[in-house]
Chains A and B, each alone.
Chain A
């Protein structure tokens, strides 16, 4: 039993470490990518190509004065960013990052680079925890004792629960096709054909819902600097603000990893069988990270290209556009399964 706990601990450390290092890398990519899209250079003074800029940002945020406004509800004020980060970090344990056949660590077989390989309700666990992330935002808005924060928090949570529905319906299509809630089964099902091909509209719905779930442009009405005075985190300073930013980037990474697993074949390459053992582990991990990297770049690209949606346009798109499209996708998948095409 202790060997299994040690193996889980190692996997957890590897994946958590990777997630936490993605955050500074993403801040750098965001700022340089934004700059190139806007035809300027971006930060390039701190270290070669500005690579140490995230370090400077982190130091700045740490040393900022931690202002607590007068009439906030103290407990909720400190709890809200903690909830945001906690939920962001605990959702990735059901995502398979690499193939690990025939590898044994401490005498226990490593059933794939996934922290919880035997959890039978994989995707349901992830969806359940993402629905908890609403609390971080709504409590931050409420606890700040500021009408703009409250409005921003309420709008953001309404947006999150609306697009959660569309995302779940899109995911249902994939689950129907692969027949199991576990993400390892979903990845293995895509050995010949990635799910994005037969379920293209489901993929579109999922991607748009992913943008809305992570509060990224074009759906970032609730937290943009020039809307509602930065919305729900206007009263949070220094580490609490940093915690929300961190949770946003980690959420982005987790949703990109989920999109990769569900639609882009996870760690599989079409038609190529990954070798067993440590070589297979490294190769499949590299393939997975390449796909996740592409999706993260897509997030940055769309952010600096498209204008922001107005709140009523956003809700209209979610309820009247994405949900019918996701239902049609579900219908198509059921017909295809019944006729044996999928």
Chain B
């Protein structure tokens, strides 16, 4: 598998979440954006996900996501996760990084002011992996018409690995949208959509972008099932494009 794919997967799979409520939006469950709220104080949440990336210039990549989060203080949580992936090219499961995250919800939505939070993610190499990746994400969440919300995520990414022609730092942004489906007669589903843009990995390259749509469905009092589809809408030269990225996941808090 080429390095670009591995890097892409590595970044996508750093995840954290808030409580297992279909309305609480969690990065990678199933889309990439976050809302500005942390997991509840004293809550643990376990997440598991499975995804398939259908790259246009290589064989599909299958990835797994496991993560556990803990609300260690009011409006603050930490998480640790593993994201092993499997490519039919290499024929083996690779899991050489551990993801650590810190999230803080600074402010809830008050009056016309959006909720604000931020997160810091670190992908730390283990067992032969090389280079660490860091991301700082600022998040704004604001109610739109009534029940629907918009979520603006601004990312700064820094990597310690890569060749001389690669960017060490990049910027990205995602506009996410969420809207509960079925109000006011049913209360167990939320529709999600996003449009994201991110600087390409090669120095001097342009922007990559993607769109996604997903659904979070409350299964029980403590569990949520999610399903999402994403597609790259533009990709800088040299980076493989993924016309279809499918993910399913399950979250449970305790």
Same assembly = no
B residues neighboring A (CB under 8 Å):
none
